[in-house]
Amino acid sequence: MIEKDFAAYLTSFDYDERLAMKIQAPEMLRLYQEGRVQVIDIRFTEEQTAWQLGFGQHIPLNELPDRLDELDPNKTIVTMCPHYDRAEIARLFLTMKGYHARYLTDGMLGIANILRGDTARDYMVTLTEKK
């Protein structure tokens, strides 16, 4: 992986990057179905103990530096937390490390809100069909 220089990244930060660093739930769910993104829950362990998504991987933010080998360099890494503030820290770190990373703007609470009732059923059906 080719690491980025933080100062150089900030100097080149523009409107395109401002959009590119984010991903909204509908696009994430679609790309995940297509196997094009790796989804990482970066919450603390006790948060994951309380509740979790039925897909994606859990790597706590403070373990991320030591667990980069679990990330697929050929996929976009989508970082997520309850809202988005910690996910953005993770996204920035991974970007500096040379990964293509985006953070989930809707957060895990947004995913939980979107995937209810028939929407949850339809999404899980398509995930199963892919496998």
Partner 1 sequence: MSTFMTDFARDIAPRAMKKARISAEGFIEAYNNGTAELVDIRVGSETAVWQVNFGLKIPAPDLPERLDELPKDKLIVVACPQAARSSMARTYLHSQGFRVKYLEGGLLGLVDRLKGGRAKDIQL
Residues that bind partner 1 (CB under 8 A): 43-44, 46-47, 49-55, 82-83, 108-109, 111-113, 115-117, 120-121, 123-125
3-state secondary structure of 129: helix
**Please, what is the minimum distance in Å from the beta carbon of residue 86 to partner 1?**
9
Q: Tokens 């809202």 appear where?
A: 83
Distance CA 71, CA 94 (A): 10
Q: Are 60 and 42 in contact (CB under 8 A)?
A: yes
Which residue number, 1 or 109, has a Cβ lying nearer to partner 1?
109
**Please, what is the minimum distance in Å from the beta carbon of residue 52 to partner 1?**
6
Which residue number, 75 or 83, has a Cβ lying nearer to partner 1?
83
**Please, what is the minimum distance in Å from the beta carbon of residue 117 to partner 1?**
7
Q: Which secondary structure element, helix H or strand E, spans residue 89, and what is its range?
A: helix 85-96
